[in-house]
Amino acid sequence: MSAAVPPPADPAAAGEMAREAAAWCALHGLVVGDRADPRSGTVPGVGLVHAPFSLLPAHLPETFWKQACELAPIFNELVDRVSLDGNFLQDSLSKTRQVDDFTSRLLEIHRKMMEINKEENIRLGLHRSDYMLDSETSSLLQIELNTISTSFPGLGPLVSELHRTLINQYGRVLSLEPKRVPGNAASSKFAEALARAWTEFDVDSAIVMMIVQPEERNMYDQYWITKYLKESHGITTIRKTLTQVEAEGHVLPDGTLLVDGKKVAVVYYRAGYTPNDYPSEAEWSARLLIEQSSSVKCPSISYQLVGTKRIQQELANPNVLERFLENKEDIAKLRKCFAGLWSLDDEEIIKTAIEKPELFVLKPQREGGGNNIYGLDLRETLTRLQKEGGDALAAYILMQRIFPKASLAYLVRGGICHEGLVISELGIYGSYLRSKDKVITNDQCGYLMRTKVSSSDEGGVAAGFAVLDSLYLTDK
């Protein structure tokens, strides 16, 4: 994946395009909260800036696009199958739980659900699988699979629209065609999956509850889902923090979850993936309360555990996929996109990583960007963990470092347009809904493109490392 080439040769022309684009963002809701305004994360409509974006879409050969889209329903099915094998999840994460308090608390809730034989008859997953195109092997390799709080289904589609608008206006100068920017319906598709889960729950007066962080500058990405739920499906959404759920929620004897007196059909998590979301026992109590209820959870505790780095690494081991999937073609497609993944039980791979740290990424069990360890820091961390001994290494996995091709692009942040050498990452959204034995939805439903300067190791937009982008499909 590389940025659209060539970008406007004249910086003045790029500046004019950037101004047009920033105005378009304001008019069409491609916005985030402004960090400079202390109220921007808590009061809707206060302190808005355009979301950071790439001025033109990133190039990707269409064959890789099709490959990534084909993988989405296979990964959806895999998550569901793995989630049902409670012993596999508990056993695979047993060492991690000893050194990672957060994973341990999630496993504790999961264990309680296993002990009471709690069944999730309606299971909803809104996933995103992230990939990079490795220039050394010319193969599309998976970075991670996200099963909780997959961000930017609301804003991502708007960037595709923005880029098509700019290409329509400046396409002749740029020699680009708008039809090569694929459509992106992630926000309406996510809303549709949530609405179908609400329908399966089958209580007309019930609502969708979105679990959010107390301060959320990315709230407008979330409000797009709320908008589609109301306008297209007539479903009301409430926004609550875990702290509020603990204060206002209780479960009736029949399993119904009531929050602020309202029956909750679907709980959609846009928080709950980081220890910061559980500052006290109240939040853990809320998470357990939700899990004990009959509401549809997106995700359930078991779906969230399937998305851990350790499970990703375990699924890459020989013969493990065969435990969950029967179709040999599907298994081959998954294996083709797996990068090298190793647990730190392997002393040889630790030795290799210390000798050649530039070829690896050290990943702790954390979501949300800004957590991975690279280069000399990786060498230092592995050396220290080895000396400490015990199970400290179990909190991490090692992954092959992927080397995408870098290219020049214009990035726009805070109204300022600057040119840089960049690399891009493709995320494919998937929606999966099963009601008892019937699969109702298993789809690829849009994409997220993120672009960052090639000198940055991390890729999170909300965390400040990257900008939003879209795709421009090429023949090769």
Is 153 found in the same domain as 49? yes
Total tally of structural domains belonging to the chain = 2
pLDDT > 50? residue 1: yes
Mean pLDDT, rounded, for 326-333: 98
| Half-sphere exposure (Cβ direction) of 158: Cα atoms closer than 13 Å | 24
**457: three-class secondary structure by DSSP:** coil
The strands making up 360-364's β-sheet, listed across from edge to edge, are 341-343, 396-400, 360-364
Which candidate in 29, 86, 340, 368 is catalytic? 368
Is 276 found in the same domain as 364? no
Q: With contact defined as beta carbons under 8 Å apart, do 444 and 428 qualify? A: yes
Is 452 found in the same domain as 370? no
Averaged pLDDT score across all residues of the chain = 93
**Which CATH number do you get for residue 354?**
3.30.1490.50
Is 188 found in the same domain as 244? yes
pLDDT > 80? residue 287: yes
Q: With contact defined as beta carbons under 8 Å apart, do 453 and 467 qualify? A: no
Binding site residues for substrate, as ranges?
128, 148-151, 216-218, 222, 270-273, 450, 461-462
* Cα 453 to Cα 150: distance, rounded to the nearest angstrom: 22
Q: Which of 401, 417, 434 is the last residue of a domain?
A: 401
Binding site residues for Mg(2+), as ranges?
144, 146, 367
pLDDT > 70? residue 8: no
- Per-residue confidence (pLDDT) for residue 5, from 0 to 100: 44
Is 360 found in the same domain as 304? no
Is 163 found in the same domain as 18? yes
Q: Which of 358, 373, 401 is the last residue of a domain?
A: 401
* Cα 62 to Cα 69: distance, rounded to the nearest angstrom: 11
Look-up: residue for tokens 């690399």?
423
pLDDT > 80? residue 195: yes
pLDDT > 60? residue 6: no
Please give the residue range of the domain that contains residue 12.
2-339+402-474
Which candidate in 47, 118, 129, 144 is catalytic? 144
Is 283 found in the same domain as 389? no
Predicted TM-score (pTM) of the model is: 0.94
Is 335 found in the same domain as 385? no
Whether 128 is a known active-site residue: answer yes
Is 178 found in the same domain as 106? yes
Is 383 found in the same domain as 424? no
- Per-residue confidence (pLDDT) for residue 3, from 0 to 100: 44
Q: Which segment of 79-88, 167-176, 409-418 scores lowest on mean pLDDT? A: 167-176
Q: Which two tokens stand for residue 274?
A: 């980081």
> What's the one-letter identity of residue 453?
V
The residue count of the chain comes to: 476
Is 257 found in the same domain as 375? no
Binding site residues, as ranges?
128, 144, 146, 148-151, 216-218, 222, 270-273, 309, 363-372, 374, 399-402, 425, 450, 452, 458, 461-462
* pLDDT band (50, 70, 90) for residue 230: very high
- Per-residue confidence (pLDDT) for residue 400, from 0 to 100: 93
CA 436: distance to chain centroid?
26
- Per-residue confidence (pLDDT) for residue 465, from 0 to 100: 64
Residue 76's H or E segment, with its range, is helix 62-83
pLDDT > 70? residue 4: no
Whether 363 is a known active-site residue: answer yes
Cβ neighbours, 10 Å, residue 272? 24
- Per-residue confidence (pLDDT) for residue 344, from 0 to 100: 86
- Per-residue confidence (pLDDT) for residue 188, from 0 to 100: 98
Mean pLDDT, rounded, for 261-271: 98
Whether 180 is a known active-site residue: answer no
Instruction: From residue 327, give the alpha-carbon distance in Å to each of 331, 333, 431.
Output: 6, 10, 20
pLDDT > 70? residue 274: yes
Is 443 found in the same domain as 314? yes
Q: Which two tokens stand for residue 432?
A: 């999966």
Q: Which two tokens stand for residue 332?
A: 């081959």
Which candidate in 97, 240, 297, 450 is catalytic? 450
Mean pLDDT, rounded, for 340-362: 90
Q: With contact defined as beta carbons under 8 Å apart, do 40 and 219 qualify? A: no
Which candidate in 118, 123, 128, 240 is catalytic? 128
Q: Which two tokens stand for residue 30?
A: 């491609």
Whether 231 is a known active-site residue: answer no
- Per-residue confidence (pLDDT) for residue 365, from 0 to 100: 72
Whether 368 is a known active-site residue: answer yes
Whether 450 is a known active-site residue: answer yes
Which candidate in 97, 164, 180, 363 is catalytic? 363
Which candidate in 125, 367, 427, 446 is catalytic? 367
Tell me what percent of the residues of the chain surpass a pLDDT of 90: 85
Q: With contact defined as beta carbons under 8 Å apart, do 325 and 77 qualify? A: yes
Which candidate in 54, 76, 92, 146 is catalytic? 146
